Structure 1
């Protein structure tokens, strides 16, 4: 039987003249004169011979056709009809696409390209996954209404206001996605739910920051040379966000300039340009120390896999009884600039990677103030370390 299989080759399929050609095991190539070839599986079930189309040779390779034929031959061996089973699988798939959880996953997949790091951080999908899908995920998307949404989000509407807001906005996107798929949905359900939920009492709070006058003492305490201490020191000196720092790779550094890819910055990666960070001598020395821990190309690698988590640095500060968090060092730097230097607004904001000015203004301003930012960060490093 083994010798009867795999009679064809990819070249033979490509050059086949009109006719019918057996690959063995019931897999046939039907080549027509007026079009591309078709894959067909012949099988006999309950003394009845049937033929099942497996797709065009333009869409299905010889290798894939063999794999599909193996799958359906196994179905025949169980006494089941492959054509009926395929129809059943399609109906189940269509049914699943009507469920909110499947629509949500499909909506997420379609938006990955515009999300930072292709959505791998999970921040786009997690509000849905944690707070919406456990209650509404198994419902047909056409049955989702404002009452169900209200009852789902009301427990966190005030206590976790920002998360609830994101969950509601993501759900609205999913409803629009479902409508684009052709499902009957109430596109106003999320806005009606927002009206039922009412005004949120909770006010967003800024991430606690260490006063700039206390930064030198904290910097000096980070002295044991561990990955976490080195990462925090470099975070303080550069003023960058934690994500690009945690995912720092040596190939991003050329001389004394670190270029952060657009997709690692805050915002949509298709609209965010790369950002150059001047590295002062103290920062370069930290990078040299951190090279000893490099793994998988990452400078601040996790001991098990990937890079250190965002919580790793936060927990260090939490264990010390500090309210401030790593992201707050950006505020510490900005306050120091405002209170101790006469730096222009454009240079100060660009130092933090903020977009300054309108679209037209930015089109005419071609500089990123690299050398001015370098001089500023040298003063900051001197203050922090001396």
Structure 2
């Protein structure tokens, strides 16, 4: 057997530049008196490749010999120590459980809960844009509150809502990692929130027209043009702009408008369509709009599709109004609260909101359609100035 351990620690430290063999294929290649690298040369399958064992002096003589001994064992077993090391590195990287992989796995697990399986990207986007560029390649088990604080600090006040969402999504990812059996700090996001402090930004709600001013505005929408008709239907039904803009003749049957789940704002129970009771006034608006329908859509765009999301907002801007279309939902809700004794669940359902917890919803099979029908008829009477009566539910 070839002689091993020819070098000594003292010689290695003082050896000049050049190659110095330790035996058994291990040698030190010194570039200068103070630095170099360890090389292991072996024979396998008719070839004599070289394998680096690390830089000197970071890797000591003893450590280099231990690595060479392990490499010789692989050679005796007919395996390339280079390929063995490459395989071990790939496996180690997989076992790191990087945040980017955990985030994608968490997203996949929640797609069924998201509107359109999350294809619009709203759930994942805060992570993708503001967290993963900095922490994506960090093992999730190593992420602490300092990492999170430093990542979100630049947008914590300037983009408060986005930062808040990113922090919430990150907390979900950490819980997902824990469920996979990884050792993570589940309190890291809360501790980061404490470090970041209270956000200066305050969430501002879209301005709404006071409910007492709605009848006068409604009367001003007197022209049989699509913008006026769409605004009138929006007010009469208290629905969101998207649902109104995408209203289709096939969705309407008599005095009921059934909005497909995908046209409603994402809700946990949005697996079913939503029924909207139509007052006689709303039915008249639909009848008028149907005269200009294209491809079944009540409010078609100039060239294709439907009117844009900005159409009604721009109309109110041109009239120099601070209020915006979405605000009419608040106008309606305030009117309900101040002039009626409508039960909470009826009023909230009228807005398409989810009411109660999952267990309560599982046992409650009604959508209060008839109660809502009476309420919406009263609302229509009010906005058209036909009645100012107080609504009472006995």
* Structure 1 and Structure 2 fold alike (TM over 0.5): yes
Unaligned ranges ≥5, structure 2:
1-82, 386-394
Counterpart residue number, 1:132? 131
The answer as to whether partners of 1:100 and 1:133 remain within 8 angstroms in 2 is: yes
Whole-angstrom CA distance in 2 between matches of 1:190 and 1:258: 43
Whichever of the two has the greater Rg, that structure is: 2
Counterpart residue number, 2:388? none
Listed one character per residue, the Cα deviations across residues 188-208 of structure 1 (whole Å, up to 9, x for unaligned) are: 432331221123344434332
Q: Cα gap change, 1:120/1:232 in structure 2, threshold over 3 Å: closer, same or farther?
A: farther
Please give the secondary structure, in 1, of the residue aligned with 2:276: strand
The question of 1:119 aligning with 2:118 is answered yes
Please give the secondary structure, in 1, of the residue aligned with 2:205: coil
Whole-angstrom CA distance in 1 between matches of 2:271 and 2:383: 30
Q: Cα gap change, 1:162/1:140 in structure 2, threshold over 3 Å: closer, same or farther?
A: same
CA apart distance, 1:102: 4.9
Listed one character per residue, the Cα deviations across residues 345-374 of structure 1 (whole Å, up to 9, x for unaligned) are: 454333223455677876776543323322
- 5 Å-filtered alignment, 1:270-309, equals 270=269, 273-291=272-290, 292-295=292-295, 298-300=297-299, 308=307
The answer as to whether partners of 1:237 and 1:283 remain within 8 angstroms in 2 is: yes
The answer as to whether partners of 1:265 and 1:272 remain within 8 angstroms in 2 is: no
Whole-angstrom CA distance in 2 between matches of 1:176 and 1:359: 21
Whole-angstrom CA distance in 1 between matches of 2:248 and 2:197: 46
The answer as to whether partners of 1:103 and 1:174 remain within 8 angstroms in 2 is: yes
Please give the secondary structure, in 2, of the residue aligned with 1:276: strand
- 5 Å-filtered alignment, 1:1-386, equals 100-137=99-136, 139=138, 141=140, 144-178=143-177, 186-223=185-222, 225-266=224-265, 268-270=267-269, 273-291=272-290, 292-295=292-295, 298-300=297-299, 308=307, 310-355=309-354, 367-386=366-385
Listed one character per residue, the Cα deviations across residues 324-361 of structure 1 (whole Å, up to 9, x for unaligned) are: 22222111112223334454545433322345567787
Please give the secondary structure, in 2, of the residue aligned with 1:124: coil
Give me the CA root mean square deviation: 3.9
Count of residues paired in the alignment: 298
Please give the secondary structure, in 1, of the residue aligned with 2:320: coil
Please give the secondary structure, in 1, of the residue aligned with 2:323: coil
CA apart distance, 1:266: 4.6
The answer as to whether partners of 2:145 and 2:191 remain within 8 angstroms in 1 is: yes
The answer as to whether partners of 2:346 and 2:372 remain within 8 angstroms in 1 is: yes
CA apart distance, 1:97: 9.8
Listed one character per residue, the Cα deviations across residues 41-98 of structure 1 (whole Å, up to 9, x for unaligned) are: xxxxxxxxxxxxxxxxxxxxxxxxxxxxxxxxxxxxxxxxxxx9xx99xx69x77995
Whole-angstrom CA distance in 2 between matches of 1:224 and 1:353: 29
Unaligned ranges ≥5, structure 1:
1-83
Whole-angstrom CA distance in 2 between matches of 1:224 and 1:103: 55
